[in-house]
């Protein structure tokens, strides 16, 4: 069952499965969330709803480990 993206708000923290914060929600779209990652090499990611494991107040948890976020094509906005 996919989470209801309408519950997600701008500014909520996004976490990977091991509990590490990876970024902050910038925008919620129809089937993706736009996330600005933390750190020196911050970047934008457009994470699909299928990669979201759980939504709680002020928190979005992914089902994809931090090390597996690169190379999935999520750096590009959905067309």
Q: Is 67 within a domain? A: no
Q: Is 38 within a domain? A: yes
Q: Tens digits of per-residue pLDDT, 56-79? A: 999 999 999 998 988 899 999 987
The structural domain count of the chain equals 1
Q: Is 33 within a domain? A: yes
| Dihedral Cα 51, 56, 60, 65, nearest 10 deg | -60
Percentage of residues in the chain with pLDDT exceeding 90? 75
Q: Is 11 within a domain? A: yes
Q: Is 68 within a domain? A: no
Say what the pTM is: 0.91
CATH of the domain at 49: 2.30.30
Q: Is 45 within a domain? A: yes
Residue range 25-41: mean pLDDT, rounded: 92
Domain limits for position 47: 5-59
Give the pLDDT band of residue 1 (cuts 50, 70, 90).
low
């Amino acid at each position: 069952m996919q989470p209801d993206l309408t519950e997600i708000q701008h500014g909520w923290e996004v976490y990977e499965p091991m509990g590490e914060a990876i970024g902050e929600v910038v925008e919620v779209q129809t089937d993706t969330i736009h996330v600005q990652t933390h750190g020196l090499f911050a970047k934008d990611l457009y994470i699909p709803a299928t990669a979201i494991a759980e939504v709680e107040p002020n928190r979005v948890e992914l089902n994809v480990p931090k090390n597996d976020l690169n190379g999935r094509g999520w750096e590009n906005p959905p067309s």
